[in-house]
Amino acid sequence: MAVELAHQACIHPDCASTYEAGEVLSRCPRCGSLLDVRYDWDRAQVPARLRDLGRFDVPAGGLGRVSGVWRFGALLPFAPTEAQVTIGEGHTQLRPCPKVAEYTGIDPTNLSLQYEGLNPSGSFKDNGMAAAFTHARLVGAKKAGCASTGNTSASMAAFASASGLLKPVVFVGSGKIAYGKLSQALEFGARTLQVAGDFDDAMARIQEVCRERGVYLMNSLNPFRLEGQKTIMYRVLEGLDWEVPDWIVVPGGNLGNSSAFGKAFLELKDLGLIDRLPRLAVINAAGAPTLANLVNREGLRWNEGRVDMDKVAAYYRGLDERGEKAHTLASAIEINRPVNLTKCLRALAGLNGVVRTVPDQEILDAKAQVGTEGFGCEPASAASVAGLRALVAEGVVDRSARVVCVLTGHPLKDPHATVGYHGYDAGQLAEAYGGYGVTRAAYRNAPVPVDNDLGAILKALDDA
């Protein structure tokens, strides 16, 4: 059985404890560090060539035909085929985007956007949930829980109701969940608690509740979830005809994605399936800059696994003393205590990565640019595009580099942000978004009120 190929391992080199794949853990019980899923690759059936991965001619009855995660099952071999859970996730696209390329300063043919909004619940989270629900099924879990800025809960609720496997419990912060996302958790039937606090508070409470009540944790602390998110990068490679790009640019919130991407590429390199690594750029919102501050100001590094956690604790104490909370319109990355911090540092070290912040003004402008390509994204996703633009201007990313920005979520998740940007006049914009530093809409496309009269309508059309 495939399960025996996998185990869990503490990522701290001085502990390095291992645990069976069948245990339900979100941190190392001995030292509290994060856990990895590791494999006995010698016994796994990994194809010898990258281009043999992800083929659609999977065995009869296999889920590879319907799942963009499980068709890469050879690279996350922790579950037998018959245990795999899917809701049809991972049919996403790598789209060449010349207009956005021009906006960022990249050569027109060299920028592609990996559009994860095409997932069934509208965000990349579905890739991870397919893997986490599969593990939950293997261990016989009955209840699933998560804290969420919105998309994790939408995805978890979708998997729970579609699979009928687990009862979903969702904790959201009481402030600012985008309606598109909240509507999904409610409609899919998740028990939804609005915790009086922000995401970081909800994340702390859900971990306590999972311990107290034996609820299976679906946040990205769960190492199995990150295994599913590795497949986003396999599909990027597939979209580039199996060539490794120069840069991967991704928004950073709880830092699960960046961690999973790092693991994906480092494993492929170790397996001899790729001969070079891309560089990684993780983009924080300026209003939620923990990773950027720790890396760029405090000099925090992976340091072969011995991360200076005193430095991290001191940083968090400072946030508390100043009463500083994360504050950005990009609600999916409004997170100041990213749970996967150490794994992300490992990815940055392994992929020669950089971290930047972008203000909300630039995020919304970049989002409007993505819209010109005819698909769009939610605000947090556009941080990747805004971040790339900044990195090109700095000269860190070369204009001729081959770049992939990950668009993490669908534009209809947060239509308020879009309609506000395009529809508000300067006064309304200042009132609604001034607190986020957004004062103008450079790419505004406002709706035009017109009388119900042919002459007036024709005149309005001619004026355009």
Ligand X SMILES: *Cc1c(COP(=O)(O)O)cnc(C)c1O
Query: Which of 85, 120, 190, 92 has the alpha carbon at shortest distance from 148?
Result: 190
Contacting residue, 378, 418, 420, 421, with ligand X by CB under 6 A: 378
Question: Looking at beta carbons only, is 50 or 217 nearer to ligand X?
Answer: 217
Contacting residue, 2, 8, 26, 33, with Zn ion by CB under 5 A: 33
Question: Looking at beta carbons only, is 50 or 247 nearer to ligand X?
Answer: 247
**Is residue 151 involved in binding ligand X (CB under 6 A)?**
yes
Q: In whole angstroms, what separates CA 412 from the centre of its chain?
A: 17
Per-residue tokens: 286: 């300026």
Question: Looking at beta carbons only, is 170 or 332 nearer to ligand X?
Answer: 332
Residue 28 binding: pick among Zn ion, ligand X, none (C-beta 5-8 Å cut-off by kind): Zn ion
Contacting residue, 333, 345, 366, 382, with ligand X by CB under 6 A: 333
**Is residue 63 involved in binding Zn ion (CB under 5 A)?**
no
Question: Looking at beta carbons only, is 118 or 380 nearer to ligand X?
Answer: 380
CA dist 245 to 103, 241, 242, Å? 19, 11, 9
Please count the other Cβ atoms lying within 10 Å of the Cβ belonging to residue 116. 28
- Name the minimum Å distance from CB 184 to ligand X: 12
Per-residue tokens: 327: 């504050």
**Is residue 256 involved in binding ligand X (CB under 6 A)?**
yes
Contacting residue, 31, 314, 393, 450, with Zn ion by CB under 5 A: 31
**Is residue 251 involved in binding ligand X (CB under 6 A)?**
yes
Contacting residue, 381, 386, 390, 420, with ligand X by CB under 6 A: 381
Per CB under 5 A, contacts with Zn ion among 181-210 are none
**Is residue 289 involved in binding ligand X (CB under 6 A)?**
no
Alpha helices (H) in 289-378, listed in sequence order? 290-292, 309-321, 341-350, 360-371
Question: How many angstroms separate the CA atoms of 349 and 203, rounded?
Answer: 26
Query: Which of 453, 457, 451, 42 has the alpha carbon at shortest distance from 270?
Result: 42
**Is residue 408 involved in binding ligand X (CB under 6 A)?**
yes
DSSP symbols for 54-75? T-S-PPTT-GGGT-TTGGGGGG
Q: Kind and range of the H or E element at 301? A: none
Contact 8, 35 (CB under 8 A): yes
Alpha helices (H) in 83-124, listed in sequence order? 98-104
Residue 31 binding: pick among Zn ion, ligand X, none (C-beta 5-8 Å cut-off by kind): Zn ion
| Binding footprint of ligand X on the chain (CB under 6 A) | 123, 125, 151, 220, 251-257, 332-333, 378, 380-381, 408-409
